[in-house]
Amino acid sequence: MGGTDDGGNHGGNHGGNDGANLGANPGENPGGNPGENHGATEGATHGATEGAIHGANEGAIHGANEGATHGANLRENFGENFGENFGENLGVNDGANLGANERAVCVSIHDVAPANWSDCLRLLRAVREVADIPLTWLVVPHFHGSEVRAPACDEMLAAVLGEGHELALHGYTHLDTPPLRASPYARFMRTVYTQGEGEFAALDTAEAGRRLGLGLAWFARRNWPVSGFVAPAWLLGKQAWRAVEASPFDYTTTMSRFHLLPTRRSVFSPSLVYAARNGAGRRLSPPCARLLAAALAPMPLIRLSLHPRDARHPALLRHAQGLIERLLSARTPMTKAAFARRLSGAATSPTSTAPSPHQSPSANVHSRHSSADSRNVPYPPWYSG
């Protein structure tokens, strides 16, 4: 389950650094392709919106009591390097091949497991009250180490798979088991941002690969296709990231990006998420999600991540329903696997100023840096692993 109690100063510090670096870089070197003007606009607008809105969103969504420490570490680990790793390349592809009717929305249900099954079904019913759209179900084979077999759960997942939904691997146990490191930042991310559930936050490459293999085997025994992996709490340490890159998955997502693994490209798409863990999060996260959705309106993809705990709070369900309804008025609903296929097509097609209806969105796509350069490896930017 994603973390929900981040520092109160996250928003302010995140916005300051992000907006400064991001706004300065994207528009300067747009590369002369159809994204030139869009790059300039996004440099000014997107830098500001991500700095102000996304920073505020994360600060509010995860807002609790660790603001000062997290804010300082976030500037060091994220703000200073974000423009280098993201902003300088953003303008190159923005605007290419993107039609207004090609924008997508992906709604996912996290932490799918027998222990959470009733809440998952409640989320499904809430979405279907708005529209019967394809969802991505993030499945945890042995949630919190449970060995309980649930044939009824498996049958239902097989049924939704047959209806056009997607099943993706979401860790193996959803538990963070390695010893805590001395770094205050790493401790914060593993114990406050998420309460010991960032399974892939500190695994070495071998152990991460072993767990990925176990998860793939679990899917194979059920004859379920799987093309995506999403780390619990979106936390991927450096070594775990290498294991994911060496895996047969088509995509992974972090808190802020959709990564297409075979082509080493990604799309900026911060996830809309609710903070159901505490009262402050339940009050602040809905308006922040709405503001972030508005700020992301020009983007090719908006993601909404629903968690089992959200289902226990009617106000959050009602807000999610309203948000989905608004997003569907301007976007095509699809699974993450479907968006990965569209993105893969955009990544391999030549740039065109007049996209055909069959072209996939490539706006806001940029190449990832080589894994050999540890400074530029695109790990989740708020976590230094």
pLDDT at 102 exceeding the cut of 50: yes
| pLDDT tier for residue 43 given thresholds of 50, 70 and 90 | very low
Residue whose C-alpha is closest to residue 245's, from 55, 267, 80, 237: 237
Over residues 251-271, the mean pLDDT reads 95
Written as six digits, the tokens of 169 are 């691997």
pLDDT at 77 exceeding the cut of 90: no
Average pLDDT, the chain: 74
| pLDDT tier for residue 70 given thresholds of 50, 70 and 90 | very low
Q: Give backbone dihedrals phi and psi of 329, rounded to 5 degrees, phi first.
A: -70, -20
Start-to-end C-alpha separation, the chain: 18
Distance CA 188, CA 338 (A): 35
DSSP sequence for 206-235: HHHHHHHHHHHHHHHHTT----EE--GGG-
Better pLDDT: 362 or 155: 155
- Structural contact between residues 292 and 272, judged by C-beta atoms closer than 8 angstroms: yes
Written as six digits, the tokens of 291 are 């503001």
Better pLDDT: 227 or 93: 227
Domain ranges of the chain: 100-367
Of the given ranges (13-22, 78-87, 252-261), which has the lowest mean pLDDT? Answer: 78-87
What type of residue sits at position 78? Answer: F
pLDDT digits (tens, 9 = 90+) for 189-201: 788 888 788 899 8
DSSP state of 311: G
Which residues, 6 or more positions from 229, have their beta carbon under 8 angstroms from its beta carbon? 168, 169, 170, 212, 215, 244, 247, 249, 251, 252
In the chain, the percentage of residues whose pLDDT exceeds 90 is: 53
Over residues 198-226, the mean pLDDT reads 95
pLDDT digits (tens, 9 = 90+) for 340-356: 999 988 755 543 333 33
- pLDDT for res 190: 83
- pLDDT for res 232: 95
Distance CA 224, CA 108 (A): 17
- pLDDT for res 183: 82
Written as six digits, the tokens of 253 are 């997502």
- DSSP H or E run through 340: helix 336-348
Better pLDDT: 96 or 249: 249
Q: From the centroid of its chain, how far is CA 62?
A: 15
- pLDDT for res 156: 96
Distance CA 380, CA 336 (A): 18
pLDDT digits (tens, 9 = 90+) for 114-143: 999 999 999 999 999 999 999 999 999 999
- pLDDT for res 113: 96
pLDDT digits (tens, 9 = 90+) for 278-298: 999 999 999 999 999 999 999
pLDDT at 17 exceeding the cut of 90: no
224 to 98, 110, 312: CA distances (angstroms): 32, 18, 29
What type of residue sits at position 81? Answer: N
364: left (phi over 0), alpha (psi -120 to 50) or beta: left
Written as six digits, the tokens of 173 are 């146990």
- Structural contact between residues 280 and 59, judged by C-beta atoms closer than 8 angstroms: no
Whose structure tokens read 């840096």?
A: 369
Q: Give backbone dihedrals phi and psi of 76, rounded to 5 degrees, phi first.
A: -70, -45
pLDDT at 103 exceeding the cut of 50: yes
110 to 31, 102, 300, 306, 342: CA distances (angstroms): 38, 25, 22, 6, 23
| pLDDT tier for residue 155 given thresholds of 50, 70 and 90 | very high
Which residues, 6 or more positions from 314, have their beta carbon under 8 angstroms from its beta carbon? none
What type of residue sits at position 23? Answer: G
Q: What is the 3-state secondary structure (H, E, C) of 7-35?
A: CCCHHHHHHHHHHHHHHHCCCCCCCCCCC
- pLDDT for res 347: 59
Fold of 100-367: TIM Barrel (3.20.20)
Highest mean pLDDT among 40-49, 174-183, 374-383: 174-183
Residue whose C-alpha is closest to residue 250's, from 143, 345, 137, 151: 345
Q: What is the dihedral of CA 342, 353, 296, 241, to 10 degrees?
A: 50
Return the beta strands (E) in 274-361 as ranges: 301-306, 332-333
pLDDT at 108 exceeding the cut of 90: yes
pLDDT at 85 exceeding the cut of 60: no
Better pLDDT: 147 or 2: 147
Of the given ranges (41-55, 178-192, 200-214, 315-329), which has the lowest mean pLDDT? Answer: 41-55
Q: Helices 10-24 and 67-74 sit at what angle, rounded to 10 degrees?
A: 20
- pLDDT for res 181: 75
Return the number of other C-beta atoms located less than 10 Å from residue 325's C-beta.
12
The pTM (predicted TM-score) of the whole model is 0.68
Residue whose C-alpha is closest to residue 237's, from 183, 198, 290: 198
pLDDT at 187 exceeding the cut of 60: yes
